[in-house]
Copies of this chain bind each other. A is one copy, B any other.
Amino acid sequence: MEKSIDQLLKKSRLSVTESRVRILELFFSQPGALAHGDIEKKTGEKFDRVTVYRTLQVFLAKGIIHTIPTNDNSIRYALCREACEEGHHHDNHVHFVCNDCGSTTCLEEITIPVIKLPKGYASSQVEMIVSGTCRECKK
């Protein structure tokens, strides 16, 4: 694990620092998406709030993570898959937001259906967010 995180950072021409490694570990350790606040808490407030902001911005710019739009104010971040490259995302999977526990999950197994846009529109990215009750909360 350590190894692959190292490599991921190096591949993106970023230096391997403690905060970056810890935050990436966090993302790899769970299937869902994380909001800024989650990251602060789950790293035990070890890193400065500003460092978290900057780290997320760098990861975004390098195409390591992507944002997931949500109805409430909070932006969530999730790991990109292989296909993502710097400045060019291809996350054509569905995101699920649970209204009970608030967790956001990437439903990798579901592909977003292709829709036909009205004349004159060109699409570069499609997002699909399903909200409801997740597997855990439904039990």
Contact = CB atoms under 8 A, between A and B. Distances in A.
Interface of A: 67-73, 75, 94, 96, 99, 107, 109-110, 112-113, 115-135, 138
A72 B68 CA distance: 9
A125 B115 contact: no
Contacts of A113: 113, 115
Given A67-B71, A75-B73, A118 B110 contact: yes
A95 to B, nearest CB: 9
Nearest to A129: B127
Given A69-B69, A71-B67, A130 B115 contact: yes
A96 B71 contact: no
Contacts of A110: 115-118
A44 to B, nearest CB: 26
B120 A135 contact: yes
A91 to B, nearest CB: 11
A128 B127 contact: yes
B71 A69 contact: yes
